[in-house]
Structure 1
Amino acid sequence: MIKTLAASLTALALASLTAPPAAAEPRGPEALLTELRTLYQQTGAATDAYNETGERLSAQRAEVERLTERLAGTRTDLARARRLAGRLAAGQYRSGGVSLPPALRLLLGEEPGQALHDETVATRVVAAQAAEIDRLVANERRADALATAAREALAAEEALAEERRRQRDEIHRRLDELTALLAGLTAAEAADLAALELADIDEAQRDLLASGALGDDGRPPSPAGERALTWALGQLGKPYAWGAEGPDAFDCSGLTSRAWSHAGVTIPRTSQGQWQELPRIPLSELRPGDLVIYHEDASHVGLYAGDAQVLHAPRPGTEVTLDPVAVNPVLGAVRPG
């Protein structure tokens, strides 16, 4: 059963017949369907970009933490080296000799417990310690520079994340306006719109099958692909939710990434990342568990389920479902493992 926009339009209109119609300029079902598709694609793309930024933010924060710890360790080593240098200098001043720690005596080839009063050896020890301090000072400067650069990069990423949030919220606002418009449709108008979308999907599916692009469509899944698809089929009927990765709700790439993680394969979190980073395959080689990527901006994804169907979390107001593979314009396909 196709659970796209069409699946909910009639119920939405019937539920709102008693409400006053939204103040919107009348438009035909073709124009309304085009606007709906554009908004849903934009929303998917904006959410995908937001999720991608979140991934980068997590990585950048981890890098800042790593470099900060490295800087702290370097400073600890530097403080220890400076204390030792101070003890060496004080020992030379008081007695003209140096009492070295056992580890340094071994490094210099001296017998444990032997007092080192030779001026040449003492000078060599102090010079070596000064060189060690210089090395640690240089390391501290490098670590400090890296930590500063990481913090600056994190600040830039956080600014980008805020911008992505604003973009996403603006599209949500437009979707709210469109929902109000849909609520003002009569049952007959909603039925016309639903029928138009179903007809478009049926036509796209017929064209895809007639083209022979799917080949014989009888290829078995890989063991990992079968595990991923089997797990995903268990999520049928769960609702779509922004940025959700389960277990109670999913967005499109949250479903695919979680499915493949259950198969023991880690893949990018977003549909755009999946398209960019996973090996691409022709549609003629699709097998169950592979990922089908949609739209020119790779803003939607589903798991191929065989029989020219795709399992996916379509968009707001829908559930995880099986649809014809041509439910959206197909960009291509990738195989995680």
Structure 2
Amino acid sequence: MSVRLVRWVCTAAVAGVLLAPGPADAVPEPGGEKSVAELLTDLQALYQEAEEATETYNATEEELKERRKEAEALAKKLATARGSLHSSRVAAGRLAREQYQGRSEISPYVRLLLARDPEHALDQGRVILRAAKKQEATVDRLVGDEKKADGLATEARAALDRQMGLAERQKKDRDAVQKRLKDVEELLASLTADQLAELARLEDAGMAKAQRSFMASGALSSVGRSPSRVGDAALSYAVRQIGKPYVWGAEGPKAFDCSGLTSQAWAHAGQVIPRTSQEQWATLPRVPLSELRPGDLVVYFPKATHVAMYLGDGMVVQAPRPGARVKVSPIAANPLLGAVRPDPGAGPMTGYRAPELPAGALDGGDTGYAAAGAPGDE
């Protein structure tokens, strides 16, 4: 029997009610150690820890990309500075040889001061002065180039050290994700068929109840809104990715994680937004849920570790969790934190038509984990 993948209970309040152990819902493990409701709570915690670790990994990856660019730019500047320094040293060496051989303009200057023709001496003096200034500039340029090259070399070494430190941190972040996902895999593998069926029943009931409660609360406006033209393009891109697998750290084109999908959707629409859900929440303008329009980003969990794109009518497009695929889900599929709008200054488009959804857009679990094992590096 294949493992039926676990979906999150939607809100903390609903989860607290649905997951409370009780005689009707409790199917104890062998030995009576934990009820299925408690196992579901454990799985939810592991999934959330995995997604937090994934977003930390993504943030480190983005910072590492910036440090690589910095190191490359410094390397180019250093190469240019060393080329200029070489030229200055050649010029300075030529100057030294001329002075040693008596061919510089400094020694004749003394003779010209003793010349019988003062006017001729004055004209020649101007020429000599210009030559002396040129020699002085050569020396000054050499000194300046040496200082610049030394400074850039120091910066380049520091940038390389920062890059190496981030690469090491990235490895630790990657290991943390894989450890959390391995824990999920082991827990799922330990469950019996009855426990898995009960888990599925609990999550289905929890999600349906949370969505009904949210929609009945009036938090969403009953008036449909149109996206901006850029928001429409971003949403259309997200819809075209439906069916592609969730892979942590992935940002397309064959697989996505949650913020990889949203950031790439807006990038393909022509607007760059931060890579991670936490940065999207921290930097993009907030918008009340009552004013949501298609293309807005809906952010979940207290630490902003999950994000989806609003489709309209209380539904979102999202890359749910490892083991699942990009799909359409109820907006209350996870505990809501709030929403942000990448293009707050853009007005709604006219003549908006919602993108046509592919067959099976709502099929499949909203969270899950493939039984084959922890994913490799992406």
Q: What is the TM-score of this pair, normalised by structure 2?
A: 0.74
- 1:56 aligned to which of 59, 63, 87: 63
Question: Which residue type is aligned with residue 55 of structure 1?
Answer: E
Q: Please, which of 317, 323, 328 is the counterpart of residue 323 of structure 2? A: 317
Q: For the structure 1 residues 133 and 35, does the alpha-carbon distance in structure 2 shift closer, same or farther, using more than 3 Å as the test?
A: same
User: Is residue 282 of structure 1 aligned with residue 288 of structure 2?
Assistant: yes
More helix by percentage: 1
* Residue segments in structure 2 that go unaligned for 5+ positions in a row: 9-28, 107-123, 344-378
1:146 equivalenced with 2:146 (yes/no): no
Which residue identity is paired with 1:250?
F
Shift of 1:123: 2.6
Deviations, residues 191-222 of structure 1 (Å, cap 9, x unaligned): 32212112222222233223322122511111
Output the CA distance in 1 between the equivalents of 2:50 and 2:219.
29
Could you tell me which runs of 5 or more consecutive residues in structure 1 were left unpaired when the two chains were aligned: 8-21, 100-114
CA deviation after TM superposition for structure 1 residue 242, in Å = 2.1
- Contact map agreement 2:259 2:275 (CA 8 A) in 1: yes
Alignment of 1:127-276 (within 5 A): 127-181=136-190, 184-186=191-193, 188-276=194-282
- The structure-2 alpha-carbon separation of the partners of 1:173 and 1:23, relative to structure 1 and needing over 3 Å to count, comes to farther
How far apart are residue 179 of structure 1 and its match? 2.4
Aligned-pair CA distance for 1:244: 2.2
Amino acid at match of 1:162: K
Percent identity between matched residues is 44
Q: Any idea what the Cα deviations from partners look like across 1:287-328, whole Å, max 9, x if unmatched?
A: 011110111111111110100011111112212111110100
Distance 2:79 2:7 in 1: 59
> Cα 1:117–1:6, aligned 2, differ >3 Å: closer, same or farther?
closer
| More divergent stretch after superposition (311-320 vs 194-203) | 194-203
Distance in 1 between residues matched to 2:261 and 2:126, nearest whole Å: 73
- Asked if residue 74 in structure 1 is aligned to residue 74 in structure 2, the reply is no
Distance 2:323 2:31 in 1: 22
Change (3 A) 1:244 1:23: farther
Indicate how the Cα distance of structure 1 residues 98 and 71 shifts in structure 2: closer, same or farther if over 3 A, else same.
farther
Q: CA deviation at 1:175?
A: 1.7
Note closer, same or farther for the CA distance 1:25–1:205 as it changes in structure 2 (3 Å cut).
Answer: same
Secondary structure (helix, strand or coil) at the match of 2:51 reads helix
| Whole-Å separation in 2 of the counterparts to 1:122 and 1:93 | 16
Paired AA for residue 145 in structure 1 = T
User: In 2, Cα distance between the equivalents of 1:82 and 1:235?
Assistant: 59
Superposition pairs of residues 75-154 of structure 1, within 5 angstroms: 75-97=82-104, 119-154=128-163
- Note the C-alpha offset of 1:122: 3.2
- Alpha-carbon separation, structure 2, partners of 1:323 and 1:278: 23
Q: CA RMSD in A?
A: 2.5
Distance in 1 (CA, whole Å) between partners of 2:156 and 2:167 is: 16
**Structure 1 residues 210 and 266, CA gap change in structure 2 (3 angstroms):** same
Larger CA deviation: 201-210 vs 225-234 = 201-210
- How many residues are treated as equivalent by the alignment? 304
C-alpha distance 117-221 of structure 1, shift in aligned 2 (>3 A): closer
